[in-house]
Structure 1
Amino acid sequence: MSFSRPPHDEQQDWWRGAVIYQVYPRSFLDTNGDGVGDLQGVIDKLDYIASLNVDAIWLSPFFTSPMKDFGYDVSDYRGVDPMFGTLADFDRLVEAAHARGLKVTIDQVLSHTSDQHAWFQESRQSRDNPRADWYVWADPRPDGAPPTNWQAIFGGSAWQWDTRRCQYYLHNFLVEQPDLNFRNPEVVEAILGEVRFWLERGVDGFRLDAVNFCTHGELKDNPPREEIVEGFIGVRPDNPYGYQLHLYDKTQPENLAFLERLRALLDEYPGTTSVGEVGDDDSLGVMAEYTRGGKRLHMAYSFNLLTDNADPRHLLEPLEEMEARIGDGWPCWALGNHDITRLATRWGAEDDAARLRLYLAFLLTQRGSVCLYQGEELGLTEAELSFEQLVDPAGITFWPSYKGRDGCRTPMPWQADARHGGFSRTAPWLPVPDDHLGLAVDRQEADPDSLLNAYRAFLAFRRRHPALVKGEIRYHPLRDDVMCLERRHRGERLLVALNFAGGPRELGAPRDARALDDAPAMVNGRWQDGTLRLPAYGIAIARYPDAPLGQASWHP
């Protein structure tokens, strides 16, 4: 069965500079009263999503799953889990989104399945069945120990003993998430078939979970890490995963061949795209390698901006390095998602609308595409949950040093005065914090000065300026905590200044820089007579006579 795509698909590079709104369906809107969000809830709120002026949605997993990792353990790649609805609901969602000009991208978890998947159920039965080599199996060491010292991100050895085969199987995440063997051509063909199924149903792209985990290397011990530097999820002092340099268990050269096969499949469906999640010690290098040359992924994103450190020097370093390394590749940036502490809490901007506006402008003026996580537009804070309220296996395992991911996954508050914030008519799978009710959609929609309306206005402004969407970029040295950059595209040249300081700043500026008449109110810097004045956490954007980047450039 083949489904229609939006009529503007002749613009096949729509993804380049697109803003993608991440929907975590479990927590978006519950329409059937079971306390869990569903696909009908997404359909009911598509007008809201479209009103944000985003280009696409990214749906976190809704596939059939035992939900050990809340959908990232897939037991049927082609099925919709009953808690979310039916395949017919998904088809209606795609058609409804396309009717509103929204593209639809979906999560694909390709590196591993659930241990309940039919493939694994067959594979574990014997060493000689048709799918015996579809997963990564290995014999124990002579003393019975696991084949290598590899660690799982969620704690403990990455190897699990199976008594049926008297072998270990590899799982980089939960024990219930066995890794597929991408060295087996049959596995690659099967996975590509699962991807094609959704392409035929009209999806516009895929967010590829942990895409650098698809292939493993030689069964050798990883060497120890000299220093534990927090970054990718799992790299923390309380988790042995962070004690190793991951030389053999992920990010292998063989993965490139699979990505090329995947890209060739996507190229059969013009206008479709891919964005890969990369977690690695050299994430920026992997992002560049995976996206350069137009033969692998369209885009990739890493955890480099999903940091606890909002100092502009810390943020500028990966951005400049990315530009130096990516060539003709394309990055995707995010400041929050379903795995990371909410931005407002992580960057210390709770109840600080000026800072949240600054962070929005920072993200949306970079070169690359953007992912926005549901609730960021409301300024939602990290929910404080008790141990008894946790459901995330990572939080339960590592409590209390790490409280898991539940705090950023609590339900969307739609109505301030409604029970459970209007998310559900019954107790939801995670509670709606009381302090989120004051940030509810209905309350912010009624306030022209709200963060929600600032998001809408700035996203609409960005759409009107191709230089901010697809343009080249050049960074200038930081000055007094002000990040200065230029964007240029087809005759439009813009100067951007972002004040990360808690006090006003004054900088030299070109006399012929002109403020943009259509800039929203949050762009509050003042350009006058060769001087730029910025309030605390201020934002300034101006048009400047076009020239090649680096010529007649701005020296603030």
Structure 2
Amino acid sequence: MNAQTSISSPSVLASDPDWWRGAVIYQIYPRSYQDSNGDGIGDLPGITSRLAYIASLGVDAIWISPFFTSPMKDYGYDVSDYCDVDPMFGTLADFDALVARAHELGLRVMIDLVLSHSSDQHPWFAESRQSRDNPKADWYVWADPQPDGTPPNNWLSIFGGSAWQWDPRREQYFLHNFLTTQPDLNFHCDAVQDALLDATRFWLERGVDGFRLDTINFYMHDKQLRSNPALPKEQRNATIAPSVNPYNHQEHLYSKNQPENLEFLARFRALLDQYPNKSAVGEVGDAQRGLEILGQYTAGETGVHMCYAFEFLAKDPLNAGRVAEVFAKVDDVAADGWACWAFSNHDVIRHVSRWALSDPALRLYTTMMMCLRGSVCIYQGEELGLPEADIAFEDLQDPYGVEFWPEFKGRDGCRTPMVWHSDNTYGGFSETRPWLPVSLEHAALAVREQEADPAALLHHYRHAIALRRAHAALSRGQHDKVQALGNVVQFSRTAEGEEIFCAFNIGGDTADVTLPAGAWEQLGAEQGSAAVPAAGGQVTLQPWQCCLARRV
């Protein structure tokens, strides 16, 4: 590991411990953002060169997916050194330069910490697997076989098959909730927690502003290694794993979501609180209890600041009834917590394809997202309306897709390179063949082409983000009950004496909404918001139109 180095840089960032509340966070998948050295793989200097563009969107922060040293069996989510940069992405000096430039531009930097598991090539695991009595023997989750030699219990891996892998050195199984090359760390071991907190401190000292915590509810396992019960077929869904994956057949009572996890999160939060203006967002991977866990992990001052579940990352169409249902559940189980919403990320089909959205629908969903209570993550290329890329099997890189092809094609379709302009084969991403092919369908949607078109979706995103930032009611305010009135999602947001009425017609027919009595003014004309009567009353919404109004 490299020596710890404190980094200070000029910054235009105001001191604000609550900056995360209502923030818009732009996710960067580093392999696919910008290649600076011509090897076909994106890197940290490439990201730095594009920070001005990101700042122009009006977002508050960036989240960079893993760039740590890794054998790349799961493309960085298998870490072999938590305190260094993989050479394909650059150096620690490149990271320091990125942080400094981001801060100059008013962007905070969040990085993706993968704490639940490491690579099997991490020195910790290399030592742990050597014997049952070495200093790191209990740093990973080891268990004896059952008398017939089969795994200790029925736990399954998200990537398919048993979550247990036999190791002949120790004549034991080790736990892997993901790939066999991603052994789970044993959080019941205090030394493991200490080591991971030391790694967290390393990046805090380098100036990061926060963390995205991968698979936050997978940290702890049941000490007794009890088998999970079966999940009734009618309760299964494909929110976390594709429908063809047997992982959906279990209720994961014991392999994750353990109550002791709150004790570790309290330690993690206490560390963050030693540094000003830091925050963390946790990824909650659970198909049945995601919002409940979100509420547990973000309530009070001892958990993480915010979490996101998968309700809006699901394949099922996001209609008005579903939006109201999700927020009713949030109000019930997470009223004291804080959600972070996303429609797309590096693990799911891009939402323009997943929900088969027309351009008007895509714009309405974008505006609605920026009006919801909670923080927001947007994924690179989302602001361009990029559809899911079609990747041929011979170009596939994702082991998840290889395992379940063709019923599930993996995650490569949302991970293809960012398109900056349309006048070369590689979209301005690289001067050489990229690690994944650039979709020809994406070229016409490239940044340079949309910058030149005032009506392009890119500008709609900028207007929607600017509207959110201009009104405390939209970014940090409370809301009344989120209602589904036919195809219309309707609610009001309030903060600092400001009240904003929000209605979104999620459908292809006109719909009428009624403003409360009083004096109102139109907001969001750039988002196509309907004109409003000054004294309140009925407003007719066209298909895929919103009504945003501020009480005056």
Question: Normalised by the shorter chain, which TM-score bucket?
Answer: over 0.9
Please tell me whether the aligned partners of residues 208 and 276 of structure 1 are also in contact (alpha carbons under 8 angstroms). yes
Q: Residue 502 of structure 1 corresponds to which residue in structure 2?
A: 508
Preserved contact between residue 135 and residue 181 of structure 1 (Cα < 8 Å): yes
Stretches of structure 2 that go unaligned for 5 or more consecutive residues are none
Q: Which of 267, 277, 291 lines up with 1:284 in the alignment?
A: 291
Give the secondary-structure state (helix, strand or coil) at the position aligned to 1:421. coil
- Following superposition, the deviation at residue 513 of structure 1 comes to 4.6
Identity of aligned residues (%): 54
Verify: 1:436 aligned to 2:442, yes or no: yes
Residues 111-138 of structure 1 show CA distances to partners (whole Å, capped at 9, x for unaligned) of: 0000000000000011111101100000
| Corresponding residue for residue 7 of structure 2 | 3
**TM-score for the superposition, normalised by structure 2:** 0.96
Pairing 1:220-235 to 2, within 5 Å after superposition = 220-227=226-233, 229-234=236-241
Q: CA deviation at 1:476?
A: 4.6
**3-state SS, counterpart of residue 527 of structure 2:** coil
Match of 1:107 in 2: 112
Q: CA deviation at 1:330?
A: 1.0
Say whether 1:382 aligns with 2:374. Answer: no
Report the Cα distance in structure 1 between the residues aligned to 2:355 and 2:481, rounded to whole angstroms.
23
2:503 touches 2:513 (CA, 8 Å); kept in 1? Answer: no
- Residue 279 of structure 1 deviates from its aligned partner by 1.2
Q: 1:159 to 1:413 in 2, by over 3 A?
A: same
Amino acid at match of 1:523: G
Deviations 1:131-164 (A, max 9, x none): 0110000000000000011000000100000011
Corresponding residue for residue 350 of structure 2: 342
Q: Retained in 2: the 8 A contact 1:214–1:250?
A: yes
Q: Return the offset for 1:7.
A: 4.9
Q: In structure 2, what residue type is equivalent to 1:537?
A: W
Deviations 1:3-57 (A, max 9, x none): 2364544211100100000000101011111111000110000000000000000
Question: Quick one: distance in 2 between partners of 1:508 and 1:468?
Answer: 20
Report the 3-state secondary structure (helix = DSSP H, G, I; strand = E; otherwise coil) of the residue aligned with 2:83.
strand
CA deviations on 1:284-327 (whole Å, 9 max, x unpaired) are 10000000011111101010111222222112211221022223
- The one-letter code matched in structure 1 to 2:8 is S
Q: Is residue 2:307 matched to residue 1:300? A: yes
Partner Cα distance (2:512, 2:220) in 1: 51
CA distance in 2, matches of 1:383, 1:233: 21
Cα deviation, residue 433, structure 1: 0.9
Q: Which residue of 2 aligns with 1:394?
A: 400
C-alpha distance in 2 between matches for 1:164 and 1:119: 15
CA shift, 1:203, in A, is 0.2
CA contact under 8 A between 2:398 and 2:410: conserved in structure 1?
A: yes
Deviations 1:449-482 (A, max 9, x none): 1000111111112111110000001135322301
Task: Determine the C-alpha separation between the residues in 1 that align with 2:176 and 2:513.
Answer: 53
Distance, in Å, in 1 between the alignment partners of 2:329 and 2:346 is 26
Match of 1:29 among 31, 34, 38: 34
Give, as a single letter, the amino acid of the residue that structure 2 aligns with 1:233: I
Q: Could you tell me whether the CA contact under 8 Å between 1:526 and 1:534 is conserved in 2?
A: no
Q: Where do residues 337-486 of structure 1 align in structure 2 (5 Å cutoff)? A: 337-349=345-357, 352-486=358-492
User: Equivalences for 1:505-524 in 2 at 5 Å?
Assistant: 505-516=511-522, 519-524=524-529
Give, in whole Å, the separation in 1 of the partners of 2:464 and 2:392: 36
Equivalent position amino acid for 2:332 in 1: A
Cα distance in structure 2, aligned partners of 1:9 and 1:476: 33
Segments of structure 1 that go 5 or more residues without pairing to the other structure are 546-556
Match of 1:3, as an amino acid? I
| CA drift at 1:530 | 1.5
Q: CA deviation at 1:512?
A: 2.6
Residue type of the partner of 1:377?
E
Which residue in 1 is equivalent to 2:543? 536
SS of the residue aligned with 2:389?
A: coil
CA shift digits 1:44-93 (9 cap, x unpaired): 00000000000000000000000000000000001101110001000000
- 1:156-194 Cα distance to aligned partner (Å, 9 max, x none): 100000011000000000000000001011111000000
Return the letter of the residue paired with 2:277.
G
Match of 1:146 in 2: 151
> 2:544, 2:481 → 1: CA distance?
19
Could you tell me which of 323, 329, 336 is aligned with 1:328?
336
8 Å contact 2:265–2:304 — kept in the other structure?
yes
- Going from structure 1 to structure 2, the CA distance change for 1:521 and 1:71 (only over 3 Å counts) comes to same
Q: Is the 8 A contact 1:458 1:520 kept in 2?
A: no
